[in-house]
Every structure is written in structure tokens, then in C-alpha cells.
Amino acid sequence: MKHIAIIGGSGFVGTRLIEELNRVKDTALRNIDKRQSVFHPDITHLGNVLDPEGLVPLLRGADAVVLLAAEHRDDVSPTTLYYEVNVEGMRNTLAAMDAAGIRRIVFTSSVAVYGLDKPCPDENYPPDPFNHYGRSKWQAEQVLREWAASRPDASVDVVRPTVIFGERNRGNVYNLLRQIASGRFLMVGSGKNKKSMAYVGNIAAFISHLLKGERKAGYRVWNYADGPDFDMNRLVEHVGHVLERPVPHVRIPYPVGLLGGRMCDLLAFVSQRPLPVSGVRVRKFCATTQFDATRARTTGGFRPPYTLEEGLERTLRYEFVSPPGDGHIFETE
């Protein structure tokens, strides 16, 4: 029996990962989160990466840890929370693992460590994060690498997913899909910028694939994205095709859109209320964000269970054709 502790498994990716791992024979799961899981309360224990002493008894007996817990939204305030949770949380988790005698960890980092408008970086591309989230994830990776370097028997897999979408998610991809579906979508820029994306069912399957393998000492980094990448024009057309709805063709020049985003930043600052549009989100929308995930797709026999088109169609039909109506959603970026 393999015992796996998931830290931060009550959220969007963790919930899907637990569903995936529940299908793996001879695997026992434990979810450790500061929030109760709506879907898996029977295996959930309340704990926090900011409380290392509290983590130790919750980790005892585990063979591997999956660290999902993170501060990741664009509008986290104060910004020191990114570093407290993502960096100090990593240190606390590793200290608790040492106390519990665990040497295997899968950590979900992010392609945000590469920055914007990079030429399809692979895992060897030099980090150049442009925001606090990316910087804190890169610092967390450095803490993890230092830990692994001093423990020859450590088995570390760092997964850097691109933007993740799927059913029940209320992040940037959902907001985009909702705008297109409503007919109120306005394209900012030419729409020729390409986006790497990852369907939640595939990222959960990939993490499960890593955990099902035999424990191997070493430090490994994996970009994850589902190809082939869509540009924004093709994405909009695909959404219209699946939902059988007309696609709006109004375009706003990038400088005008960015100015509007910065005005929204000012309004949000004055009102102390976050707005759905911001300068950062306009920049991210118009940026080319492609990442080379060849290693994940060609190493060790992993095959994603869904194509990108299938993941988008499953999400669109779930959210806009036959929504469940139970109100259970996940707020992410």
C-alpha cells in the first residue's frame, strides 16, 4: 500500500487529483488543507503550511507528499502573502517531511517562473518571473533544490503547469470562455498570440503518472501543457463552434486595452475592491505564452487522456450547456 499526503487538496487541481488517485490500486490518500474539502471530507485533515509543527503528525506514515498549497491569484494583498505561503510554506513542508522521515515530493510550481513573451521555453530556460507569484514560485523551487541537494536519497518532481482550466474552475480561462459564450467578448490586440493551456483532467493524470512510478532519487523538472497550442483567434472560433453561437469580431488595439486595464487598477485601488479587468490581466491576455512540454509528453510513457479540444469541449458543455447547478466552484486564476 502506497500512502500519499496531498497538501492543499481541497482546491481545484487537488480535488481532481484525488479523484484520479482514488482509481489507483493499493493507494491510500490523505488530504491536508486549511479548508475542508467539499468533495472529499472523509480523507481531509485541517492543517496549514504556515504551521510546520502541526504538519508533522499529519504527514507521519506517508510515502510521498504532493504540495499544491499556494497563493496564486493576481490580486493577493498584501503581496507578502505570496512569499509567506509559497516560500516559507515550502520550508515548513520540507521541515515537516524531515521530521516524518519522508524523502519523496511532487511540487506544483508554475510556468510563471519564465516570465512573459518568452520563445517557448523548455525546462532549461533561465527563469525571469515578472510578478510576485512567479518570483515566489521560483524562490520556492530554489528552497526545494537546496533541500534535495543535501539529501542524496531525495526524490523530487517539480511540475510547472501552464494555465489550468476545467469544470467548476472560476479563473481567467473560465472568464474568457464566459465572455465569448455571452457574446460580449472584445478581442484586445490581433488575436494571433498563442496560448499554452492545460486541462485539469490531464494535469491530474500526469501527477498520478509520476506517483505511480517507482521512487527514483533525483531532482526532475517538468513543464506541462496540452498541445497543439491555440492562438486567441482559433480559441474564440472553437468556443463558438462547440456552443453553436456566433463569434464577435470587434477588436480593441492593445495600447487602448492596456490603458483601460490600468484605469481599472486605479479604480480598484480607490474603491479597495478587485475588478475583473486589470493591467496585469490585459498584459497576460495579449502575451504569447507558449511553453515546451515535450519532456512530459514523451518521457516515461505518459499519454494524456484528453486532447486540448476535448478538454475545452467538456468544460464548455459542463459550464454553459448542462451546468450541474449545485453551486460548488473553485476560485482560481
* Contacts by 183-187, CB closer than 8 A, 24 or more apart: 183/245, 183/246, 183/248, 184/248, 185/236, 185/248, 186/248, 186/250, 186/251, 186/252, 187/232, 187/233, 187/236, 187/248, 187/249, 187/250, 187/251, 187/252
Please check whether residue 230 is in contact with residue 301, taking contact to mean a CB–CB distance below 8 angstroms. Answer: no
Taking alpha carbons only, the member of 75, 174, 88 closest to residue 131 is: 75
Of 83, 114, 125, 133, the catalytic one is 133
Region at 117 (left for phi over 0; alpha for psi -120 to 50; beta for the rest): left
- Residue 164 CA to residue 142 CA, distance in Å, equals 23
H/E element holding 48? none
Show the cell assigned to 234.
482559433
Show the cell assigned to 93.
513542508
- Residue 297 CA to residue 206 CA, distance in Å, equals 9
Residue 136 amino acid letter: S
Which residues, 6 or more positions from 305, have their beta carbon under 8 angstroms from its beta carbon?
201, 202, 205
Please check whether residue 215 is in contact with residue 104, taking contact to mean a CB–CB distance below 8 angstroms. Answer: yes
Please confirm, yes or no, whether 133 is among the known catalytic residues.
Answer: yes
Residues labelled catalytic? 133
